[in-house]
Amino acid sequence: MGALMVIFSLQPKQRRKPTDSVEDELELSAVRHRPEGLGQLEAQTRFSRKELQILYRGFKNECPSGIVNEETFKDIYAQFFPQGDASTYAHFLFNAFDTDHNGSVSFEDFVMGLSILLRGTIQEKLKWAFNLYDINKDGYITKEEMLDIMKAIYDMMGKCTYPVLKEETPRQHVEVFFQKMDKNKDGVVTIDEFIDCCQNDENIMRSMHLFENVL
Amino acid sequence: MAAGVAAWLPFARAAAIGWMPVAGAPMPAPPRDKRKGQDGLLLLNVSGTRFQTWRTTLERYPDTLLGSSEKDFFFHEESREYFFDRDPDIFRHILNFYRTGKLHYPRQECISAYDEELAFFGIIPEIIGDCCYEEYKDRRRENAERLQDDEEMDGEGGGGGGGGDGPPVKLTAREYLWRAFENPHTSTLALVFYYVTGFFIAVSVMANVVETVPCGAPAGRADKEEVSCGDRYALAFFCLDTACVMIFTVEYLLRLAAAPSRYKFAKSVMSVIDVVAIMPYYIGLVMTDNDQVSGAFVTLRVFRVFRIFKFSRHSAGLRILGYTLKSCASELGFLLFSLTMAIIIFATVMFYAEKGSAASKFTSIPAAFWYTIVTMTTLGYGDMVPKTIVGKVFGSICSLSGVLVIALPVPVIVSNFSRIYHQSQRAEKRRAQRRSGSGENSARYMRSKQNGLPIDSLEEEAGQALVGKSASPPFESQHHHLLHCLEKTTNHEFVDEQTFQANCMEISVIKRSGSRTSSPSSSPSPPRGLGSCCSRRHRKKNGFGLPSANNQELSTIRIPERPVANSRSSLNAKLDETMPLKCDEAFGGPRMVSLAAPPPTSPEGDASSAAAPAYSRSNIVRVSAL
């Protein structure tokens, strides 16, 4: 473990990737990204040293180059949901994790995201979820955005479901969602409406605590 | 990339929080992670070579020895390590499998040693990565062929040399006779018979040959015409021939009587040769000295030369040659075909080239065939030679190409012959060894090897059962919890292909009957205890379905044990499901989730669906082949 600490602290530099995705592919194979030091990450996230080590070991094993690009993300997610098509949802998820929008998820992004999801307060988790739904990150969730997200989630179920998935099921689900969330009926959901509504809903509150012991 | 899946699972589960605000229904409880904080380094001591790895690395594949609690049997208390008395070089590859998820086959290792190690550690060889799979399969096939040959040799020689070992088998006279014929070394009588027949074959062939030698004019004939010895000493030769044929006939009849399967024996090549060898004599006896048929009779005598083929029973080399030619049939066929093509082409060319010259021997294309063959095989008799310049040019091209065409398939035949010959030599040596007294040991060893196999398979089964009864691999249960959360979010459930098809059909039936047309709603509707008989039957039928054996890694099967009247959608001729599902059962371990790897086949799936009913607490037990 001491060696790991030494290695981690010896590599303070990060390399930023250009936003061009083609060059990304080329550079991915050539350049290796090293994360910030273990101490820094420990300060920035709510994980302990040991947890960060475990996380990094898994991450590095899968992505020796140190970063994940969207294709890999989609592949990984597809393996968890083989019956359906997880690529759209993985795309939205990727955008949610890629906080600096440089087209790739580094270990820091990954761990920050996980820290919020697993160890964050309810507010933070809800804010993260809102960020996920808000595709264009303008602060409002419109019905179209929600429909996209809903379709992506339903896509993951695949075709063989019971009861059989109908075309209007995602749309109906969106209607239900908006009915619940959109208090002032202006057709969009703002972050405050969202957080308020979720905090009043017992089911959602309970389920937010669900994955706290994942790591 | 099963290792990868396990590594990303925490991330996928965390990301599931994104569904929570959308879900209308409460989420199921997560599986209890029983072993928190148990990640640590394990020390594996394999015959002195120490390997270390994380505990979680090994637990990626819980249906193997190292991934399950089976390794506790090898835990050495004093040194606090797991000790395995196995080959460390091969173990390196096995451990790498856990680390990288890919199993490689090292070329320098012996295939059977490798297979044994894999079997010991409970890893199925089918998951060998693409990079090494070809090599592995080739080596395996080679080994299997060699084993098969050995078994055949054993079967032949074991009967001869292993007579001292196992319990004395009482042979009937027929079996004894057959064995004496097939293995002349079994008894002195058989050996004597073997040599006598050999001698008579030689005598008969020599007689046929000498018969035709001119012997000088017989005394008392005026015209001083030379006759062959056969005509001069006709009676002597006839007596000799009779004697030989007697012996051959007796031998053939005895073999036919002793053969375990007479029909098979009669069909075999050797018996055909036997028949052909003795037939001319009998036909000659039957036929009178008729002028018309005597010509045909003379032709029949040619068949007497086939007696020489009877020597193949006495000579292994001859048999090998015959076997080689048989196995190289395709190469020989190709050789023949290409030669024929070339002959026709060149004969045509030569004919037209020599057409102009006077007194040309190339009178027709078939006549030119003879020239072409003689030239292509570089014989060059010289009875037909081209006279024109053009003819000579093409003639030289013909002879050059002949060399090439013939030289091409020959090395293939040669290599085949050499391989078969060496194999048979090896078998001969081993047979000689066994006869000389080490037969007992090797036979006992063979028997113990055979006995060992059932024990190995028993071990594996026991191991699987062991895994089946132990706690579920946490990775599996967590993954199922994740899927279950998705189901709850969308208010739809995963079903397997068959159920889905059946559902579609039922829906269309119901729609047609017009009983129910309400669309599925996502809110729970009042319970309907409508279990129509066909739906119940339908349910039960799909209850114990096997996982679909296609490349889909996940197929969920529902086994409803106790239906609860809490239907979800009103399009519900089916029985209602939806109850607190508990995804905590075990089955045949994680599969290779990577889409590229060859999928494991359903024997493991069978074991899993058998284990599923044991968990009767859950109302719907999901058996997934992940």
More confident residue, B31 or B43: B43
**B521 touching chain A per CB within 8 A:** yes
pLDDT at B378 over 80: yes
- Picking from A77, A118, A161, the nearest residue to B492 by CB comes out as A161
Q: How close A101 gets to chain B, by Cα (Å)?
A: 18
DSSP code of residue A136? T
DSSP code of residue A171? H
Q: Inter-chain contact A153–B24, Cβ cutoff 8 Å?
A: no
Residues of B in contact with A64 (CB under 8 A): none
Q: What is the mean pLDDT of residues B57-64?
A: 86
Q: Inter-chain contact B495–A160, Cβ cutoff 8 Å?
A: yes
pLDDT at A143 over 90: no
- Picking from A76, A158, A163, the nearest residue to B569 by CB comes out as A163
Q: How close B54 gets to chain A, by Cα (Å)?
A: 10
DSSP code of residue B434? I
Q: What integer pLDDT is reported at residue B535 of this predicted model?
A: 41
Q: Inter-chain contact B493–A161, Cβ cutoff 8 Å?
A: yes
Check if the beta carbon of residue B542 is closer than 8 Å to that of residue B502: yes
Q: What is the mean pLDDT of residues A126-141?
A: 88
Residues of B in contact with A163 (CB under 8 A): 492, 503, 520, 568-569, 571
Q: Inter-chain contact A114–B11, Cβ cutoff 8 Å?
A: yes
Two tokens at B51?
Answer: 């390997």
Q: What integer pLDDT is reported at residue B481 of this predicted model?
A: 82
pLDDT at B372 over 90: yes
Disruptive mutation site among B8, B9, B20 for chain A (greatest number of A CBs within 10 Å): B20
Q: What integer pLDDT is reported at residue B602 of this predicted model?
A: 39
Q: What is the mean pLDDT of residues B417-436?
A: 78
Q: Would you place residue A52 in the very low, low, confident or very high pLDDT band (cuts 50, 70, 90)?
A: confident
Backbone angles phi, psi at B44, to 5 degrees: -115, 120
| Complex confidence, ipTM | 0.77
Q: Would you place residue A212 in the very low, low, confident or very high pLDDT band (cuts 50, 70, 90)?
A: confident
Q: What integer pLDDT is reported at residue B156 of this predicted model?
A: 55
**pTM, rounded to two decimals:** 0.47
Q: In CATH, which superfamily holds the domain spanning B39-155?
A: Potassium Channel Kv1.1; Chain A (3.30.710.10)
How many Cβ pairs within 8 Å bridge chains A and B? 174
Q: What is the mean pLDDT of residues B105-125?
A: 88
pLDDT at B517 over 80: no
Q: How close A18 gets to chain B, by Cα (Å)?
A: 26
pLDDT at B357 over 50: yes
Q: Inter-chain contact B21–A76, Cβ cutoff 8 Å?
A: no
The Cα B486–Cα A152 span in angstroms is 12
More confident residue, B1 or A206: A206
Check if the beta carbon of residue B59 is closer than 8 Å to that of residue B473: yes
Residues of A in contact with B499 (CB under 8 A): 160, 162
Q: Inter-chain contact B520–A162, Cβ cutoff 8 Å?
A: no
Cα B111 to Cα B93, B115, B126, B454, distances in angstroms: 13, 6, 14, 20
Q: What is the mean pLDDT of residues A100-123?
A: 87
Q: What integer pLDDT is reported at residue B398 of this predicted model?
A: 93
**B404 touching chain A per CB within 8 A:** no
More confident residue, A11 or B506: B506
- Strand-pair partners of B75: B82
pLDDT at A113 over 70: yes
Q: What is the mean pLDDT of residues B18-27?
A: 78
Q: What is the mean pLDDT of chain B?
A: 72
Residues of B in contact with A93 (CB under 8 A): 15, 18
pLDDT at B351 over 90: yes
Range in B231-235, B405-409, B433-437 with the lowest mean pLDDT: B433-437
Q: What integer pLDDT is reported at residue A32 of this predicted model?
A: 67
Residues near B457 by Cβ (< 8 Å), separated by ≥ 6?
none
Range in A130-134, B92-96, B255-259, B505-509 with the lowest mean pLDDT: B505-509
pLDDT at A22 over 50: yes
Residues near B298 by Cβ (< 8 Å), separated by ≥ 6?
none
Q: Would you place residue B331 in the very low, low, confident or very high pLDDT band (cuts 50, 70, 90)?
A: confident
Q: Inter-chain contact B569–A93, Cβ cutoff 8 Å?
A: no
The 3-state DSSP composition of chain B as helix, strand, coil percent (nearest 5) reads 60, 5, 35
pLDDT at B521 over 80: no
Disruptive mutation site among A83, A106, A123, A134 for chain B (greatest number of B CBs within 10 Å): A83
Residues of B in contact with A118 (CB under 8 A): 10, 14
Q: Inter-chain contact A163–B522, Cβ cutoff 8 Å?
A: no
Disruptive mutation site among A176, A214, A215 for chain B (greatest number of B CBs within 10 Å): A214
Q: Inter-chain contact B553–A82, Cβ cutoff 8 Å?
A: yes
pLDDT at B573 over 50: no
Q: What is the mean pLDDT of chain A?
A: 80
Residues of B in contact with A61 (CB under 8 A): 3-4, 7
Task: Give the SS3 label for residue A104.
Answer: strand
Check if the beta carbon of residue B304 is closer than 8 Å to that of residue B208: yes
Q: What is the mean pLDDT of residues A106-132?
A: 88
**Residues B470-503: tens digit of each pLDDT:** 444 567 778 888 888 888 887 887 777 777 777 7
Find the radius of gyration of the CA atoms of chain A.
19
More confident residue, B147 or A40: A40
Q: How close A30 gets to chain B, by Cα (Å)?
A: 21
Q: What integer pLDDT is reported at residue B575 of this predicted model?
A: 37
**B11 touching chain A per CB within 8 A:** yes
Q: What is the mean pLDDT of residues B122-134?
A: 85
Q: Inter-chain contact A55–B10, Cβ cutoff 8 Å?
A: yes
Q: What integer pLDDT is reported at residue B559 of this predicted model?
A: 39
**Residues B1-10: tens digit of each pLDDT:** 455 667 788 8
Q: What integer pLDDT is reported at residue B288 of this predicted model?
A: 62
CA B575 to chain centre: 48
Q: What integer pLDDT is reported at residue A3 of this predicted model?
A: 56
- Picking from B22, B492, B594, the nearest residue to A177 by CB comes out as B22
pLDDT at A122 over 90: no
CB < 8 Å from A in window 20-49 of B: 20-27, 30, 33, 36, 39
**Residues A160-186: tens digit of each pLDDT:** 777 778 888 888 888 888 888 888 888
Two tokens at A197?
Answer: 């509504």
Residues B237-260 as b or e (16 or more Cβ within 10 Å = b) = beebbeebbebbbebbeebeebbe
**B479 touching chain A per CB within 8 A:** yes
Q: Inter-chain contact B20–A214, Cβ cutoff 8 Å?
A: no
pLDDT at A215 over 80: no
Q: What integer pLDDT is reported at residue B590 of this predicted model?
A: 38
Backbone angles phi, psi at B82, to 5 degrees: -95, 120
Q: Inter-chain contact A162–B30, Cβ cutoff 8 Å?
A: no
Q: How close B602 gets to chain A, by Cα (Å)?
A: 18
DSSP code of residue B311? G
Q: What integer pLDDT is reported at residue B442 of this predicted model?
A: 40
Domain boundaries, chain B: 39-155, 183-314, 322-435
Domains in chain A: ranges and CATH: 38-120 (1.10.238.10), 122-214 (1.10.238.10)
Q: How close B410 gets to chain A, by Cα (Å)?
A: 50
pLDDT at A9 over 70: no
User: Other C-beta atoms within 10 Å of A84: how many?
Assistant: 22
Q: Which residue has the tokens 């019971």?
A: A162
Q: What integer pLDDT is reported at residue A139 of this predicted model?
A: 87
B322-435: which CATH topology? Helix Hairpins (1.10.287)
Q: What is the mean pLDDT of residues A105-113?
A: 87
B183-314: which CATH topology? Four Helix Bundle (Hemerythrin (Met), subunit A) (1.20.120)
More confident residue, A135 or B152: A135
pLDDT at B278 over 70: yes
Two tokens at A56?
Answer: 């990094």
Cis peptide before B214 (omega within 30 of 0): no
pLDDT at B375 over 90: yes
Q: Would you place residue A23 in the very low, low, confident or very high pLDDT band (cuts 50, 70, 90)?
A: low
Check if the beta carbon of residue B278 is closer than 8 Å to that of residue B318: no
